[in-house]
Structure 1
């Protein structure tokens, strides 16, 4: 029985990883196709940033609804429907709509990807293991997504090259992403199980609406959840800056166009395969605490970026620049892999996992509302190295803020543990 249960656990995990590695390909189109988006869709840095900010706005507002719906409806239905809808939106995106259409597309991608899908995925992952496995589960989720991300993204890049690297090639890559996510959505509907009915002490099935609403109230009243959210927000603000390593290497180092797409995929997806397991294992095995690991990693990130800012970039070899930026990216991805793990560390009841994850997403991902627009406008208003130096300095500031927040969170965790001992 134990062997069958373990197989079922990891089989479910693999299916969830595949879905997590495909659903965000369209909303993250800029990772591999930032320059083609500018050329063939006629978008500036600021306009791409604005689309991503709309994405963040819908995500932040929508996650308030997720606090309720993530524990109310079946994960099988929510995951599969969101994947298929993302694919249909991608088909519309392949028509290259105008700027307003682009904003609408990114808003819808956010609704189905971040509001309907993501908190439910995080809830499902948390419930697969106990408190000693959280770092590894979330770490290997990120690593597994990185594998799927890389395979799918490189396939799209291959299609782009095969079709001539023009507007038709970009359209073909978008349609490939769309078809892939629809197929995975159908797979999830067939293979992912429905949630089990919630039964009360009297053996009768409880009203799902009441259970979900009670969970919302309990989660909102838990201050530690909100501090975890702010921790995620500080890390995510630094993570948003990784996007601008792509134009940075192109503008300052003269990176060949043939390397831009490949670098973007490695920077955003390949590093998950390194940072995910590294962050998970360090959090569980070395630090015995995801929060302690995050604080140390934020200190390292701040110091590394300060050193990077003062390098003589205008005279350095492009491959040295690539190694430096990818190394910094690995540090950020090691944190991103486990920044939801503290939800278990602060002893959030498992029956309100969906509500807790949704609250963490609300503030955790809110930097998308302003970070991309902020960084993009810095580059548009301050061309060249001056603009990039401003972006990198801002990233240092967010990392230092994260150190302060994780220190506060550790104090709250210690206080809660002391209260449990006394009780």
Structure 2
């Protein structure tokens, strides 16, 4: 009976983490769905809105690694609850449509509370919900659950926006609803999530940093994130690709964008997680995933710009998205598979995230430049070739990771990444 109660509470905790994960980033990325209303309400130029994104991105990138160290020393429950509430309070202020300067400060603040006190704590909290045999499914369900929450909340709040006039007043409602939901999730997190058994970790920041940076397992995980996330970023250009090169209508392009962004996130993340647990290795699933991504990208590279090939392009696009979201859903499960100790898991996740999400800093500028410099299909070919090379690198990295796991028998010996090594 106690076992059933524990299992039920564990799934409730995972559900809350999924709920929070689908809500917390809606405010910093509000421009994705409400660009024009946001621009009008704040009276900002396109460059100024771009600057808000840049400030958020820069602060977020800086915060990944120290956020991991923080997660190793403080309660994940308290850090997550604080992050949700702080993000929501920032949202209530944002709904007053402050000055450009204050918007810059607010986005820097969001960069801190959605990464520094949140990201590594989230990954560590999910890891603590189950043993090694369940990591793939837990992280996969987190990815799928985030997609489901983002979809349902987005559609519901969009309906409110439409009913409230689709203007500044309606946008204020949107912001306040997301802010309120974030705070509610914070309260639920505080009362429902459990703290892990306290682990003593008296080592210094410098010592943990040196240990993490020197460990090849962390670097391999970081490169897996980097190469997988590169494809995720590159998917942004698939919608204009099918419309400009293959003649798909704008409506079809938008529909494919929605399916790619939400439906595939839900399906891919959950599926890969269950497969990883079934075969007992997330690293093996990643290896197969890289092979599939390489095939999909090769198809994009060799296909001519014949409009009759649109159905093939659409199928290939959906397969690519499904596989990539599946890989995103489980790459943090490898932290447990290589037996990195829970006492420094936050630092490892923080450093791997810092390296892995670097594409955010350059890839959109790089690919946008290619599309401007080489109009038509040629610009997209450069994008696909770049991603193809990234996935070949990823395949090699996944092979090295599997070899490292086998060589050192991390999955059977129980050797941990100890702070004393």
TM superposition score normalised by structure 1: 0.83
Residues in 2 aligned to 1:5 and 1:393: alpha-carbon distance in whole angstroms? 48
Q: What's 2:394 paired with?
A: 402
Task: Give the conservation status (yes or no) of the 8 Å contact 1:21–1:146.
Answer: yes
Q: 2:276 aligns with which of 283, 288, 295?
A: 283
Q: What's 1:201 paired with?
A: none
Following TM superposition, by how much is the alpha carbon of 1:353 offset from its aligned partner in structure 2, in angstroms? 2.2
Q: What's 1:178 paired with?
A: 179
Unaligned runs of 5+ in 2: 416-421
Q: Secondary structure at the match of 1:340?
A: helix
Q: What's 1:85 paired with?
A: 86
Matched, 1:224 2:217: yes
Unaligned runs of 5+ in 1: 199-205
Task: Give the conservation status (yes or no) of the 8 Å contact 1:49–1:376.
Answer: no
Q: What's 2:125 paired with?
A: 124
Q: What's 1:256 paired with?
A: 250
Following TM superposition, by how much is the alpha carbon of 1:226 offset from its aligned partner in structure 2, in angstroms? 1.9
Matched, 1:271 2:272: no
Task: Give the conservation status (yes or no) of the 8 Å contact 1:241–1:395.
Answer: yes
Task: Give the conservation status (yes or no) of the 8 Å contact 2:67–2:115.
Answer: no
Task: Give the conservation status (yes or no) of the 8 Å contact 1:59–1:110.
Answer: yes
Residues in 2 aligned to 1:257 and 1:35: alpha-carbon distance in whole angstroms? 19
Residues in 2 aligned to 1:412 and 1:238: alpha-carbon distance in whole angstroms? 25
Q: What's 2:191 paired with?
A: 190
Following TM superposition, by how much is the alpha carbon of 1:152 offset from its aligned partner in structure 2, in angstroms? 1.0
Following TM superposition, by how much is the alpha carbon of 1:36 offset from its aligned partner in structure 2, in angstroms? 6.6
Following TM superposition, by how much is the alpha carbon of 1:360 offset from its aligned partner in structure 2, in angstroms? 2.0
Q: Secondary structure at the match of 1:347?
A: coil
Following TM superposition, by how much is the alpha carbon of 1:3 offset from its aligned partner in structure 2, in angstroms? 2.0
Task: Give the conservation status (yes or no) of the 8 Å contact 1:215–1:351.
Answer: no
1:375 to 1:227, Cα distance in 2 relative to 1, 3 A: same
Alpha-carbon displacement from aligned partner over 1:334-368 (angstroms, at most 9, x marks no partner) = 10000111111111122322222222212122221
Q: What's 2:347 paired with?
A: 355
Q: Secondary structure at the match of 1:337?
A: helix
Aligned length: 411
Matched, 1:412 2:404: yes
Highest relative contact order (Cα 8 Å, sep 6+), 1 or 2? 1
Residues in 2 aligned to 1:405 and 1:60: alpha-carbon distance in whole angstroms? 23
Alpha-carbon displacement from aligned partner over 1:201-220 (angstroms, at most 9, x marks no partner) = xxxxx5x6558887656444
Following TM superposition, by how much is the alpha carbon of 1:126 offset from its aligned partner in structure 2, in angstroms? 0.7
Task: Give the conservation status (yes or no) of the 8 Å contact 1:233–1:365.
Answer: yes
Structure-to-structure mapping, 1:276-355, within 5 angstroms: 276-286=269-279, 288-312=280-304, 315=307, 322-355=314-347
Q: Secondary structure at the match of 1:132?
A: helix
CA RMSD of aligned residues (A): 3.4
Task: Give the conservation status (yes or no) of the 8 Å contact 2:90–2:110.
Answer: yes
